[in-house]
């Protein structure tokens, strides 16, 4: 099956710093990538959808200036949490889809746990 | 009303039991229905997906969709301790965006 990786798997940073998380599709070209956030014992909440070469589409309530998304190639998307604060601590999960219409299976990465001190 | 409702559990069952996990949804436009399994601190992995009403079986897992009542189910036969995880239902109306339920935590006791 299709494999999606995320790096780093875990990061701890100080309040006010920026953190970049990478999401890569290893064996397929991802025309669309998605970024989710998951709080403990809660479901996945979609933050934004990005298509290669274009600006990300953010969900309502998600600050685009705080969560910068870049989808520079068909295999790589990055999420940068700028000026991180403790309330940004969460589990961030990306997914990727080759998107050919109909059922668009999303393949999920293993997630990145961010802790902001 | 949430678009997808799912009982968060936790649900504890003895090994070998049949497990029934359920979700309801509100939008009749949803066409695809997925079940994901998520182990603690890991990304979700797809178990099954179905399109429209009906049943789909894969080994010990059976997914069932009833579009008339907007009800989806996942049955696990002969449950094993390794099945202990959070099970998430999700729908996709064909617009790329998935909508997830809150997930049901399942614990299978040896």
A16-53 residue pLDDT tens? 999 999 999 998 888 899 999 998 878 899 999 998 88
Give the pLDDT score at B1: 66
CA-nearest of A54, A2, A41 to A23 is A2
Side-chain half-sphere of B44: how many Cα atoms within 13 Å? 34
**pLDDT at residue B2, rounded to an integer:** 75
Distance from CA of B8 to the nearest CA of A (A): 8
**B92 contact A CB<8A:** yes
β-strands A32-38, A10-13 pairing: unpaired
Res B109: pLDDT: 96
**Helices and strands, number each (H, E), in chain B:** 0, 11
**Residue B94 to residue A102, Cβ atoms within 8 A:** yes
pLDDT above 90 for B36: yes
- Counting every residue written for chain A, the total comes to 117
């Amino acid at each position: 099956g299709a494999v999606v990786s995320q790096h780093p798997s875990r990061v701890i940073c100080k309040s006010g710093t920026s953190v970049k998380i990478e999401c890569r599709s290893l064996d397929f070209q991802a025309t669309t990538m998605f970024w989710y956030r998951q709080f403990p014992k809660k479901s996945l909440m979609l933050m934004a959808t990005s298509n290669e070469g274009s600006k990300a589409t953010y969900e309502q309530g998600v600050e685009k200036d705080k969560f910068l998304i870049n989808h520079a190639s068909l295999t790589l998307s990055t999420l940068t949490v700028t000026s991180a604060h403790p309330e940004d601590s969460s589990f961030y999960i990306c997914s990727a889809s080759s998107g050919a219409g109909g059922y668009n299976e999303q393949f999920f990465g293993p997630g990145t746990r961010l802790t902001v001190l | 009303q949430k678009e997808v409702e799912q009982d968060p559990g936790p649900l504890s069952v003895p090994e070998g039991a049949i497990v029934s996990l359920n979700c309801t949804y509100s939008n009749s436009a949803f066409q695809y229905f997925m079940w994901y399994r998520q182990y603690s601190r890991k990304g979700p992995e797809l178990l099954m997906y179905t399109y429209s009403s009906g049943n789909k079986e894969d080994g010990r897992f059976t997914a069932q969709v009833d579009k008339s009542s907007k009800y989806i189910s996942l049955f696990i036969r002969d449950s094993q301790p390794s099945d202990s995880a959070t099970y998430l239902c999700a729908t996709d109306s064909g617009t790329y965006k998935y909508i997830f339920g809150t997930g049901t935590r399942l614990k299978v006791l040896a």
